[in-house]
Amino acid sequence: MKTASKTQTNKLSVLKEYASEEQYRILFQNVPFGIGLADINGNLIEFNDAMLKPGGYTREDIEAIGNVAALYYESSQREEALKIFRQQGYLSQYPVQFRRKDGTPYDALLSLSFVEIGGKTYVQALTEDVTEKKLAEEALHQAEEKYRVMVEQSPLVMYMDQIDELATSFYISPQVEKMLGYTPTEVLSDPKLWHRLIFPEDHKRAMDAVHKTVETGKAVEEYRMTHRDGRVIWIRDTSVLICDKEGKPQFVQGFMEDVTERKLAEERVKLNESRFRAMIENGLDFISLLDAQGNLLWESPSASNLLGYHYQEFVGRNIFELMHPDDMEWTKNQFTEVAKQAGNRQSGIFRLHHADGTWHWVEAIATNMLGEPSINAIVINYHDVTERKLHELELEAESMLAQALSETLELQPLLERLLEAARHAIPLADKGSILLVEPNGKLRIRALSGYSDSRLQGFVFASDTGYAAQAAHEQKPLIFTQVRENEKLRYEGEIEDAKNIHSAIAAPLMIQDRVIGVIALDSTEHDTFNETHLRLLVKFATSVALVLERTSLYEEAQRRLQELQALYESGLTLSNLFEPREIGKAIVKILKQHMNWNYAVVRIRKGDTDALEVIGYGGMNLPEVEEQAEIERMNRLINKVGQGLTGWVTQHGVPVHSENLPADSRYIETNQGVLSGIYVPIISGENILGAIGVESESENAFDEHAKRFLSTLAAQVASTIETARLFSDMKKRLNELSVLHQSSQSLLVTGFDPDMTYASVHEAVKNVMPCDAFVIVVEDDAGGDYHAVYRYDKGERYPNARIPRGQGLSGQVISEGKTLLVADYHNDENVQAIHFGKVEHVRSILAIPLMRGGKTFGMISTQSYGADMFNESHRVVLETIAAQFASSIENARLFEATIQQLKRLTVLRDMDRVIASSFDLRIVFNLLLNHTLEQLKVDAACILLFNPNTYNLEYFDGRGFRSKQITNTKLRLGESLAGKAAMERKFVAISDLSSQDEPTSKVLSDEDFKSYYAYPLITKGELKGVLELFHRSTLNVSQDWINFFETLAGQAAIAIDNVNLFENLERSNFELTLAYDKTIEGWSKALDLRDRETEGHTRRVTDLTLKLAQYLGLTRTEIINLRRGALLHDIGKIGIPDHILLKPGKLTDDEWVIMRQHPQYAYDMLASVEYLRPALEIPYCHHEKWDGTGYPRGLKGEEIPISARIFAVGDVWDALTSHRPYRLAWSKEQALEFIKSQSGIHFDPKIVEAFLKVIE
């Protein structure tokens, strides 16, 4: 009892250090882990129920045991634990095994510490049953092992082996020297070295792994190798088989990792992990008392170690003020469940805010002890699991990384997944990016995570701007706590996503001390990251760098294969082409298939000159129909070596890679919006043939790979162009020979036709050399001016022209008798050409004199719109053609002159015929004006006639005028140019009206006439008018031309005189005819006066007969003669005696015989009058009948003249419908019935039918 009393006293003295006896008892019994107190010899003084529960002991069992030594499963564990305790003065969460009551062991964590109570030293023990935790850790270990293969694929030493017997390496990364002590060069130079380094007992296993990789596509093996210094190391070798797109094996790629430390220390690592875990869980555990609302009532002193707060600033706060927002909802729900009922218990993991601003993960168990009066609180037991949680995230991130590596080798998706893994391992990062170094030193964003603005993808930062650039520059990882406070770090652009970053961590991506990029994680909060995060990011940076190296090598191999394939295909394509434009078009097509650009151009030299021409041009979105127009535009902008970047590259023979074209002084803008470009020379031997250029509207659009591909293609193109030029030269020579042969043969076809001869020369020239414009000039026969007999420019033929002797290009060539070659007319002041056609386009000129018998008589000239287009070869060919055609051209010219003379003689003959056969001036002058325009080659001509009454020259007829203003012309003699020609009676010639001092008429200026010629029309000394000629360009005429003009004017004067004579004669004839007609009418009236009974009959019958004749369509002449005959139809009655003619009664038979003689009397009277002979038909035959019973000759049917048949109907009609002394007039109806009844008897049926229509 004494001992027990003393023990109890010691207990109380210990507990007074913490709380009242009652409070301690409750707390002591309800904490979830065992608490015990022993003296320094191990005798137990006090312990709670939690210490009894794992072993199945009762309090009595423990008191009976007495000393803690009996509770250990193995005494050696106790001795080891006490040894550490004595050395350190404390023991924290040391893993041990205690003995259960049934003798079996269980796992626990033991923490020991010295405490002073009443001046005596005791040992305080804390125990935690970790059996379930060990099972959980074992499950976690198994899960970790499942992903270990993928994690271990993270490359340390990378290699690429050929698929052969020795598995010969053709690449191995530099890390091999660190691993084995041998450099990559030593390994690669000795294919058997690797086999010698493999531990002999492991060699077969290692080679089996190689064979397995080739057979199955993948193998993982661990084996030993000998280091250069003699050490044996363990290697973990992971290899995969790389195939092309068709599945054909290419090579073996593998990664090796030094796992010596792991092999040697696996057990030690496990033990250390257990100890570390025990120390963390014991040393950092703390207890909190909370009320039902979560307010802190009490906190154990160790809380300050966990969260960094002092006890005083901790108590009184609400626990949820320290809770991470993402964990708040779940934790509150759990707390609410605990608070509902006493004894409720919940556990969980969440984050609490540390005093330094970071977040710590804690694992907690909450127990509702609100029902305990002495406690009246919810008891929370915590311990810090931040390291474990971060380790779990790190393992998950590494697993994500390993999985990404096993699924793809493409750079972009790999970078994106690596970045996601980094953010997963460091969840405080809101955003992240991976930036790679460009050839120019700038950083380009290649992968993004957490950013929503797509403009950031591919964004380029200057090498001295931003926190990523600073990390790259200093080549070390950095923490940035206040990004927005530093102007060198913060982003000031338009992208809000980037402007909201306040803190960041960045680590450079390094390969052999070379920075290839940066990985950065960003936060929108201040002071988000710490050194732990930075260390973790560095690990990822190492992995990313290794992945980049491996992927870059893989992509490089793939790219080279693609380039070789592309170059092979392009070689096949180009080898079949011989025309520069076809080659250029093919190059642009190849570039479209294998490069990304906006514009591409291929320029080559023109022969041996400095002139450049575009043979290929394209835009990614440019339709083919617009390419030719674009090529012409490009040729205008850059056409000489040295101009623009393609010209500069052609001049210097070195490539140019520009990322800022607008700032390059050598650049000439040919396409708007272009920012970057590559230009490479096309070189064959020592000759620079031209250049290829590709341009982009994006910055930094091209890399060194693009430059290499373009340079290789250019070399291939150089060979093709050289071959094409050789082929072209050979073809050209053959073509020249063929053209010369054909041209000689064409002489046999063209004969003496000048136009055909000139056209043959033109055709021959344009088939062998540039020929945008072409001219043939010959001398005048009399040695006067030159004649441009053939002029061609811009696809059209121009009219022949007269050139003043000695002037212009022809004057120089003909007078000197020498060939003239002008490289650039725009820059040659010694050549003064006479312009025609599209003169502004002509640049190059080649002119050859035409010679016959040692005398120059003309010139041939071919011209081009481009500069430097003709060479010595062209000169020789053109001189050959000129010599070959000189005789033909001269003969043709003479033949043409002869033909011209014959045409003019033919015109004069035609004019003579018209003048002799027609007295209509309109007809005569129409022919004359047409011949004048055609033969004299003028634009317009008109005839002014002289009016002797007004003394004016008045317009009569004209041709070729645009308006009718000329028709109003009335000029006095001596007025204007025509009046001057008439007054002075001489030829007026003005070849250039603009040179006249006197003002010209409005007609001349409005019609835009430039030349004027006039000749007075004079015959028999009398002025008849003026013949005027007009031309809308300067017209220089020959003497032959003037002579023919004079002849035509004489013909016009003769025609006017003949017409005047004819008009006078016609006027006299008209007057005579009028007199005849008046006489006839007088005879008719005289007859009416003799026979009063038939008075008016002649007039009525004549009118009716004329109507009927017009209805029947008789001609004008027939109607005139019919009228005269109608008026004289009874002229024969003059020979009938009055007693018979005027007898009021019926005539006897004898009297009728006499009466029927009057048609014959009429014939006898009029037949001798020539003028009236055409009118005899009616007086002689109007009593003949259709059936032949008439008189005087008994004619029948159509034997009767039609005029008489017409008159007969009208004569009978008037007789029936008129009163007679012996009867009354018939009615119209009676008369019509009679006429109808006599149809076919007395009258012509057709005439009757027409009469009925007329009379009705």
Q: Which residue has tokens 């006489």? A: 1079
Summary mean pLDDT of the chain: 80
Give yes or no: residues 1129 and 1230 share one domain. yes
- pLDDT for res 45: 83
Total tally of structural domains belonging to the chain? 8
Residues 394 and 368 in one domain: no
Q: Based on the domain organization, do 1240 and 1147 belong to the same domain?
A: yes
Q: CA-CA distance, 879 to 872, in Å (whole number)?
A: 11
Q: Would you say residue 271 has pLDDT above 60?
A: no
Residues 432 and 525 reside in one and the same domain: yes
* Residue whose entry in the numeric block shows the structure tokens 């779940």: 330
What's the pLDDT band for 2 if we cut at 50, 70, 90?
Answer: very low
Instruction: Determine if the peptide bond prior to 1144 is cis (ω within 30°).
Output: no
Residue 558 has pLDDT above 50, yes or no: yes
Q: Please determine, for residue 746, whether its predicted confidence score (pLDDT) is greater than 70.
A: no
Q: DSSP labels for 1118-1178?
A: HHHHHHHHHHTTTGGGGGS-HHHHT-SSPPPHHHHHHHTTHHHHHHHHHTT-GGGGGGTHH
875 phi/psi in degrees, rounded to 5: -60, -45
Average pLDDT over residues 572-589: 74
Asked whether residue 586 carries a pLDDT value surpassing 60, the answer given is: yes
Integer Cα distance of 695 and 698 in angstroms:
9
Average pLDDT over every residue of 190-200? 90
**Burial group, residue 464, by CB count within 10 angstroms (0-12, 13-18, 19+):** exposed
Distance of CA 1078 to the CA centre of its chain: 93
Confidence band for 1233, pLDDT divided at 50, 70 and 90: very high
How confident is the model at residue 13, as a pLDDT? Answer: 42
- How much is the pLDDT for 31? 67
* 486, part of any domain: yes
Q: Which residues of 30-62 are buried (b: 16+ CB within 10 A; e: fewer)?
A: ebebbbbbbeeebebbbbbebbbebbebeeeeb
pLDDT at res. 737: 56
- Torsion, Cα 380 386 391 393, to 10 degrees, reads 90
Do 112 and 177 belong together in one domain?
no
Greater pLDDT, 626 or 1140: 1140
pLDDT at 912: 64
pLDDT category, 507, cuts 50, 70, 90?
very high
Predicted confidence (pLDDT) at residue 905 exceeds the cutoff of 80: no
Is the model's pLDDT at 524 over the cut of 60? yes
CA torsion sign, 1141 to 1143 to 1149 to 1150? negative
- Per-residue confidence (pLDDT) for residue 112, from 0 to 100: 87
Q: Could you read off the pLDDT of 1035-1067 as tens digits, one per residue? A: 777 777 888 888 888 877 777 777 777 666 666
User: Does residue 163 form part of some domain?
Assistant: yes
Question: For position 1250, which CATH number holds?
Answer: 1.10.3210.10
pLDDT for residue 4: 34
Is 8's pLDDT higher than 50? no
Local confidence band at 1184 (pLDDT 50, 70, 90 cut-offs): very high
- pLDDT of amino acid 1108: 93
What's the confidence (pLDDT) of residue 1065?
A: 64
- The 3-state DSSP class for residue 365 equals strand
What's the whole-number mean pLDDT along residues 1154-1159? Answer: 90
- With 70 as the cut, is the pLDDT of residue 567 above it? no
Look at residue 18 and tell me whether its pLDDT is greater than 50: no
Residue 380 sits in the same domain as residue 394? no
**Residue 1249: band (very low, low, confident or very high) from pLDDT cuts 50, 70, 90:** very high
Please give the residue range of the domain that contains residue 974. 918-1057
pLDDT on residue 278:
42
Contact call for residues 684 and 604 (beta carbons, < 8 A): no
Question: Among candidates 277, 263, 169, which has minimal Cα distance to 225?
Answer: 263
Residue 1200 has pLDDT above 90, yes or no: yes
Q: Does residue 264 lie within any of the structural domains?
A: no
Helices 872-917, 754-766: inter-axial angle, 10-degree rounding: 160
pLDDT in tens, 447-500: 898 888 888 888 888 777 888 888 888 889 999 988 888 888 888 888 888 888
Q: Are residues 788 and 845 in the same domain?
A: yes
Q: Indicate whether this model's pTM tops 0.95.
A: no
Q: Averaged over 549-569, what is the pLDDT?
A: 60
957 within a domain of the structure (yes/no): yes
Percent of all residues in the chain with a pLDDT value above 90, rounded to a whole number: 13
**Residue 561: pLDDT band with limits 50, 70, 90:** low
Rounded distance between C-alpha atoms, residue 745 and residue 768, angstroms: 17
pLDDT level of residue 10 (50, 70, 90 thresholds): very low
How much is the CA Rg of the chain, to the nearest whole Å?
64
Three-state secondary structure string covering 765-787 = HHCCCCCCEEEEEEECCCCCCEE
Does a structural domain hold residue 370?
A: yes
CA 624, 629, 633, 634 dihedral sign is positive
Q: Which of 331, 360, 384 is the last residue of a domain?
A: 384
The whole-number pLDDT of residue 181 equals 92
Cβ burial, residue 1215 (10 Å; 0-12/13-18/19+): middle
Most confident of 562-566, 997-1001, 1152-1156: 1152-1156
225: CATH? 3.30.450.20
Burial per residue of 807-844, b for 16 or more beta-carbon CB atoms within 10 angstroms, e otherwise: ebbbbbbbeeeebbebbebeeeeeeebbebbeeeebbb
Residue identified by tokens 């003909």 is: 814
Out of 1005, 1038, 1057, a domain closes at 1057
Q: What is the mean pLDDT of residues 55-67?
A: 85
pLDDT of residue 885: 74
Among 31, 57, 60, which residue's Cα sits nearest to residue 126?
A: 31
796-799 own/partner pairs: CB under 8 Å, 24+ apart = 796/837, 798/836, 798/837, 799/937
* Domain co-membership, 606 together with 641: yes
In this predicted structure, the answer to whether residue 532 has a pLDDT above a threshold of 80 is: yes
What amino acid occupies position 308? G
How far apart (Å, rounded) are the C-alpha atoms in residues 636 and 617? 14
Is the pLDDT higher at 35 or at 1066?
35
Check residues 1066 and 401 and name the one with the higher pLDDT. 401
> pLDDT band for position 587 (50/70/90)?
confident
Boundary (domain end) residue, out of 338, 355, 384: 384
| pLDDT on residue 269 | 53
Residue 208 has pLDDT above 50, yes or no: yes
Residues 411 and 357 in one domain: no
* Cα distances (Å, whole numbers) of residue 205 to 176, 197, 198, 209, 239: 21, 14, 10, 6, 14
Same-domain status, 933 and 1036: yes
In a domain, 1085, yes or no: no
567 domain residue, yes or no: no
pLDDT over 80 at 549, yes or no: no
HEC profile of 1084-1134: HHHHHHHCHHHCCHHHHHHHHHHHHHHHHCCCHHHHHHHHHHHHCCCHHHH
Helix (H, G, I), strand (E, B) or coil at 634: helix
Q: 394 and 534 share a domain? A: yes
Tell me the three-class secondary structure of 636-666, residue by residue: HHCCECCCHHHHHHHHHCCCEEECCHHHCCC
In degrees and rounded to multiples of 5, residue 830 shows phi and psi of -85, -10
Residue 1014 included in any domain: yes
Q: What percent of the chain has pLDDT over 70?
A: 81
Could you identify the residue written with the tokens 């006439």?
Answer: 1009
Which of the four pLDDT bands, split at 50, 70 and 90, describes residue 895? low
Token pair in block for residue 166: 């020795």
CATH number at residue 963: 3.30.450.40
What would the mean pLDDT of 1211-1227 be, rounded to a whole number? 84
pLDDT at 529: 87
**Based on the domain organization, do 1096 and 1213 belong to the same domain?**
yes
